[in-house]
């Protein structure tokens, strides 16, 4: 008897839960202003005249270990949206559209990304900005293709994140960046013997490391040793000892700033004086080192740096600091910002807000963004822009 009651209860809970959610979603179409998204902050635009709102769905981690990236993208994009809306919106044909963003959390996991994607689709979005991370972008790629919606990822750098023809990206792909750094090291810095330390549990780090090593070999350089570590590792002394025993002239660390902080500190303690080069994940390293001399002279590829003298960048950084209690925008914020302006450019070029027209217009637009002066897109969906390098000089970032 007891079991029967519990099973019946289970049934009722499930049905009630499913049904109630179903009802919510159904009514949300009719009464938008009431349901809205869970983040009321993003939808500060009036929703009274629904036809004039261009809805950007967005997916990224707002919680969990990767939350910082999603939050940055969201905040950066919001700055762009506020700018555009304040300037009167986007005129397409005889209509003017204001932007609205609906951002859903995916915790940077693939299964949650699918749920987040379906959630934003329920809210009737026009285009999708996302996902912020590579795995999530790949997980939803075929769904966005089936829905025929334009997908623009600000920061998913894995090669096959944009394998479908409806998908585009703002940032460089991992191989592009790794190859660029290898060329820069050999051609500009004149070093040929390099040691690599990468995170083999992280696809960004692995992707960059592999592309870098292949390019170095192709250009006649030598990778004297390639050392791996795992996410969460704090001790790199074994790897550094091995590097110390080689004739490496330079150390390449394609990883995030936290790892770079540990590695450079421990290298200095061990008496290693070789120069460091890194990837765009290094941006922010000066905020986590306790002694800036450990990273002095390090060079990393970085499409955006908040501390660079540039009017466009300065306007953005000021607005960002004002909106988010003095937080300094990182590259993810800049990617989010550029994504919104890319949508705007595509809308104006296509004179339409239909995904199919926007996708067709993408190869014809040029965006003057924060992460590149004249960004264009090729048919594969990749952004074409110049690679920039930042060098840490006297404890501050500066373009190399």
CB of 235 to another protein, least distance (A): 5
CB of 75 to another protein, least distance (A): 14
CB of 194 to another protein, least distance (A): 17
CB of 254 to another protein, least distance (A): 12
**37 vs 301 by CB, closer to another protein:** 37
**98 vs 246 by CB, closer to another protein:** 246
Residue 246 is given by DSSP the state S
CB-CB contact of 212 with 176 (8 Å): no
CB of 386 to another protein, least distance (A): 27
CB-CB contact of 129 with 58 (8 Å): yes
> Which has the closest alpha carbon to 127: 29, 60, 56?
56
CB of 74 to another protein, least distance (A): 13
Distance from CA of residue 15 to its chain's centroid?
Answer: 38
**1 vs 87 by CB, closer to another protein:** 1
CB of 85 to another protein, least distance (A): 23
**92 vs 263 by CB, closer to another protein:** 263
In this structure, the strands spanning 53-60 and 95-105 are parallel
**4 vs 379 by CB, closer to another protein:** 4
**55 vs 388 by CB, closer to another protein:** 55
CB of 228 to another protein, least distance (A): 4
CB-CB contact of 381 with 168 (8 Å): yes
Is the peptide bond preceding residue 90 cis, with omega within 30 degrees of 0?
no
State the residue for tokens 């051609």. Answer: 187
CB of 22 to another protein, least distance (A): 4
**98 vs 206 by CB, closer to another protein:** 206
Number of Cβ atoms within 10 Å of the Cβ of 304: 27
**27 vs 393 by CB, closer to another protein:** 27
CB of 12 to another protein, least distance (A): 10
Number of Cβ atoms within 10 Å of the Cβ of 157: 24
Q: How many CA atoms lie within 13 A of 336 on its CB side?
A: 32
The DSSP code sequence of 69-135 is HHHHHHHHHHHHHHHHHHTT-EEETTEEEEEEEEEEE-TT-HHHHHHHHHHHHHTT-SEEEE-SSHH
In Å, how far are 72, 85, 342, 349, 375 from 101, measured between CA atoms? Answer: 14, 12, 14, 21, 23
**239 vs 371 by CB, closer to another protein:** 239
Say how far apart CA 123 and CA 118 lie, in whole Å.
Answer: 9
In Å, how far are 72, 150, 248, 254 from 220, measured between CA atoms? Answer: 39, 41, 15, 20
**193 vs 219 by CB, closer to another protein:** 193
- Indicate if the alpha-carbon torsion angle 314, 320, 326, 329 is positive or negative: negative
Say how far apart CA 369 and CA 385 lie, in whole Å.
Answer: 10
Say how far apart CA 395 and CA 292 lie, in whole Å.
Answer: 6
């Amino acid at each position: 008897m007891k079991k029967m009651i519990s099973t019946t209860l289970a049934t009722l809970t499930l049905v009630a839960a499913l049904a109630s959610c179903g009802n919510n979603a159904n009514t949300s179409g009719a009464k938008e202003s009431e349901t809205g998204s869970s983040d009321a902050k993003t939808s500060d635009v009036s929703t009274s005249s629904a036809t004039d709102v261009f809805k950007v769905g967005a997916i990224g981690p707002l919680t969990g270990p990767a939350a910082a990236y999603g939050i940055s993208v969201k905040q950066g994009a919001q700055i762009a949206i506020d700018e555009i809306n304040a300037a009167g919106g986007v005129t397409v044909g005889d209509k003017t559209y204001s932007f609205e963003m609906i951002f859903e959390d995916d915790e940077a996991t693939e299964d949650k990304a699918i749920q987040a994607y379906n959630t934003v689709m329920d809210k009737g979005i026009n285009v999708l900005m996302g996902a912020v991370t590579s795995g999530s972008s790949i997980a939803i790629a075929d769904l966005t293709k089936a829905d025929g919606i334009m997908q623009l990822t600000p920061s998913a750098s894995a090669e096959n994140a944009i394998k479908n023809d409806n998908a585009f990206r703002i940032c460089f792909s991992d191989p592009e960046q790794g190859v660029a750094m290898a060329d820069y090291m050999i051609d500009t810095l004149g070093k040929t013997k390099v040691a690599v330390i990468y995170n083999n549990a992280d696809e960004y780090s692995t992707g960059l490391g592999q592309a870098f090593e292949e390019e170095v070999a192709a250009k006649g350089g030598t990778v004297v040793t390639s050392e791996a570590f795992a996410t969460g590792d704090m001790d790199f002394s074994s790897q550094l000892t091995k590097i110390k025993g080689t004739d490496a002239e330079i150390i390449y660390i394609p990883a995030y700033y936290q790892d770079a902080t540990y590695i450079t500190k421990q290298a200095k303690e061990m008496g290693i004086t070789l120069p460091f080069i890194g990837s765009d994940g290094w941006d922010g390293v000066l905020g986590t080192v306790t002694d800036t001399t450990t990273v002095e002279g390090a060079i990393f590829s970085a499409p955006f740096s908040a501390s660079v003298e540039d009017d466009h960048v300065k306007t953005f950084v000021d607005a960002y600091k004002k909106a988010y209690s003095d937080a300094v925008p990182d590259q993810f914020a800049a990617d989010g910002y550029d994504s919104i302006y890319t949508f705007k450019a595509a809308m104006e070029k296509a004179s339409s807000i239909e995904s199919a027209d926007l996708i067709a217009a993408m190869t014809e637009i040029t965006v003057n963004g924060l992460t590149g002066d004249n960004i264009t897109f090729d048919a594969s969906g990749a952004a074409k822009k110049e690679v920039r390098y930042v060098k840490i000089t006297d404890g501050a970032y500066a373009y190399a």
